[in-house]
Amino acid sequence: VLVGLGQVNTYPCCRGPFGRAFRKGSVAAEAKVAAVEEGRIIYSNIRKFVYYLLSCNLGEIMIIFLAMLAGLPLPLTAIQLLVLNLVTDGAPALALGLEKGEPDIMERPPRPVEEPVINRQMVWGIIVLSITATIATLTAFIIGLRWFPDNPTVAKTMAFATLALTELPIAYTSRSERHSLLAIGVLSNKYMQWAVLASLVILLSIIYVPFLTPIFGTTSLGLNEWLVMLPLILMPPIAAEIHKSFLRRAGSRQEMATSPTV
């Protein structure tokens, strides 16, 4: 069954046996299916790329804006924001562009021609991720300010590390707009593993390598700080998976409502 394609006509060849013409028609049909599948994968990966970067960038904007609105010190420095955008976000975003495609990509109906890349479904996902990332980062920052009132660098490092580490699992959840991470396979994109590993190495180097800490305005974090940050780091990806579960349920109800009755 060719989903998303119209009826494929096969034209008999003007010379040669009928069997050969039939085979040529089959090859043409298979080529069209492969072309449609590749196009859908490319379009889907573009959406994942945009979804991930907009979620991260909107969260960064909200963190700075709400901190200023509350009269708090800036949680992130300019160079830390630069690192987040160019390194921590950049590598996983590129890995999203190399996804192989979701299992049901050819089972979906064709999208409306007038539908924008950023549709309502994506907007809600971006809102969920950016709000939870903002809450997690500002919570870590405020706790750091209370624990170390005389050393705001610790609080800024906690905010920087929390935001950077929330964006890595967000990259994993962004690999599918509807399917859970377990359904598509956590380790099925090898490029994502390398991207996340590189981002982790860079992040830990910025926090713990002595000659880098004054450059990036960070300081070493202890076990207590990491124990506070860990549950905060998991908030956005968990919220994203919950949001996707609602999308799956809504899609199932819609399919049941539109399916013909016997």
3-class DSSP state of 15: coil
Least confident of 105-114, 148-157, 231-240: 105-114
Buried b (16+ CB within 10 A) or exposed e, 46-70: ebbbbbbbbbbbbbbebbeeebeee
What φ, ψ does residue 71 adopt, rounded to 5°?
75, 20
- Over residues 125-166, the pLDDT tens digits come to 999 999 999 999 999 999 999 999 999 999 999 999 999 999
In order of their start, the domains of the chain are 18-256 (1.20.1110.10)
What is the chain's mean pLDDT, rounded?
A: 83
Q: Is 3 exposed, middle or buried (0-12, 13-18, 19+ CB in 10 A)?
A: middle
Res 187 pLDDT > 80: yes
Residue 180's pLDDT is 78
Residue 75's pLDDT is 95
187 vs 262: which has the higher pLDDT? 187
DSSP state of 129: H
Q: Determine what percent of the chain is predicted with pLDDT higher than 70.
A: 82
What φ, ψ does residue 110 adopt, rounded to 5°?
-60, 140
Q: What is the pTM of this model?
A: 0.80
Res 105 pLDDT > 80: no
60 CB contacts (<8 Å, ≥6 apart)?
76, 81, 84, 85, 163
- Over residues 39-70, the pLDDT tens digits come to 778 888 888 899 999 999 999 999 999 999 99
